[in-house]
Amino acid sequence: MKRKTLSTLGAMLALAFAAAAPTAAHAQAARGEPYKIGIILPMTGPTADYGADFNRGAVLAEEEINASGGINGRPIKLVLGDSKNQPKDGVAEFRKLVEIDKVPAIISTMTGVILPQFALSREAKVPMIAVGAITPEIRKGGPTVFSNFPLADDEEREIAEYAIKTLGLKTAAVIYENSSYGKTLSSIFIEEFKKAGGTIVAEEVIEKGGRDFRSQITRIGATKAPLVVAYAYYAEAGLIVRQASELGIKAQFMSHGSVQNKAFGEIAGPAANGFISGSPRWDDAAPNVQAFIERYRKRWNKEPDLYGPYFYDAVKMYAAAIAKAGDSPDGIRQALKGLKDFPGINGVMNFGPDNVVLLPLRFVKFENGNWVPIKR
C-alpha cells in the first residue's frame, strides 16, 4: 500500500476536522436511543495506565460526536469492558458485550487479549478494531477483524533500519517480556536487524510484572553493546532503564511505541532522557493534530499519550460506518472496509486488503519529561 503523509493532505484534514469539531452553533446535542460501541480495555491491573489513556481518547470522541448532533440525531454510547490485560477476562468481556449488551461493534487492545477474541468476532460476525496491538497475527484474524494501527512486521523493520542507517549502531542487545507481545516483537526485530547487516550479541528475557532486572542487565552490560532494544510495557521498560543507569551501563536504549506514556519517565527518572521510540505517531505540526491536543488538554487537563488518539480515531471510524450503513454488524463491517482516506488524528487511514492501515513511522526522543519529535 502506498504511504500517505499528513503534509500533503494537511489542508484537507484541517477542513475535515474543523467541520467535525462540536459547536453549539452548528448542532444540538444528540437524543434518543443510542448506537452502542463496545470497548474492551485494561482498566485495572498493572497496565491500567494504558487503559485510562485509551479510555480518555474514546470518551473524547464520544462526547464530540454527541455534542455535534450524534449520528442522524441519535447519540453513540460506549459500553466498557475491563480485560485486566488478561486473555480470559478479554474473552469474557467480549461475550458479555455481544450476548448481553448487544453491541454491534467492538474496539479492543493488548496483544494477548485480542488473539482469542478473533474467533469470537468471526463466530458472532461482529466487527472489531484492534488498537495498539501489533502482532502480524491480526492479518489472519478474518474478515471481521481490523486494525487502525500498523503491525510489527512493518514497524520493527523500520526500527531496525533506523538503528543501523540513521544511528549507525550495528551491534545490539535485546531484552524482552516473556509474553506473546514480547516474543513476537523481539523476534521480528532480531530478524530484520540481522537482514539489515546488524549483529545481536545478547537476548535477555524478563517476566511481566517483575521489578528487579539487574541480572539480565548486567549480562547485557558485559557485552558492551552500544544499542539496547527493549520490548516491554512502560513500567518494566522504565525500571530497565533506571537500573541500567544505576549499574553504570551506557548504551542507546530504544523501543517501539509502548513506552510513550508519561509514567515511563516517572519510573525511569533522569535515566529516561535520550530513550528513542519509533511508532506510527501523528504529525505534531499538522493543524488538526494541534487542534486535537488543545481539545484534549481542555477536557482532561493533561497531555495525550500515544494510544489514546488511536481509540479516538477508532470511535470516529465506527461513527462514520454507522452513519453510512446503520448499526447492523455486517453493515458496519462493510462500511468500515469501504472507508476511503479517513482523516484520522494519526494520519489519513485506508484499510488494505488485510484490513490493516499503513501509516508512516515517526521517531521521538525522551527529553526532560516529554517525547520530542526527531527530525529525519
Query: Radius of gyration of the chain from Cα atoms?
Result: 20
Cα angle 358, 360, 362; round to 5: 140
Q: Measured between alpha carbons, how far is 279 from 169 in angstroms, rounded to an integer?
A: 19
CA angle 78, 295, 17 (to 5 degrees): 80
Answer whether CATH 3.30.470.20 is correct for domain 6-150+283-360: no
CATH architecture of 153-279: 3-Layer(aba) Sandwich (3.40)
Tens-digit pLDDT string for the chain (376 aa)? 333 333 333 333 333 333 344 443 345 777 889 999 999 999 999 889 889 999 999 999 999 999 999 999 999 999 999 999 999 999 999 999 999 999 999 999 998 999 999 999 999 999 999 998 888 999 999 999 999 998 988 899 999 999 999 999 999 999 999 988 899 899 999 999 999 999 999 999 999 889 999 999 999 999 999 999 999 988 999 999 999 999 999 999 999 988 988 889 999 999 999 999 998 888 888 999 999 999 999 999 998 988 899 999 999 999 999 999 999 999 999 999 999 999 999 999 999 999 999 888 899 999 999 899 998 6
3-class secondary structure, 244: helix
DSSP annotation of 272 reads: G
pLDDT at 55: 97
Q: Are strands 227-231 and 252-255 parallel, antiparallel or unpaired?
A: parallel
Q: 231 has which bridge partners?
A: 176
Domain 6-150+283-360 matches domain 153-279 at the CATH topology level:
yes
What residues does each domain of the chain span?
A: 6-150+283-360, 153-279
DSSP state of 165: I
The count of other CB atoms within 10 Å of the CB of residue 49 is 18
Cα(144)–Cα(323) distance, integer angstroms? 19
Angle at alpha carbon of residue 205, lines to 204 and 208, rounded to 5°:
150
- Cβ contacts of 155 within 8 Å, gap of 6 or more: 134, 256, 278, 279, 280, 361
DSSP state letters, 286-311? -HHHHHHHHHHHHHHSS---SSHHHH
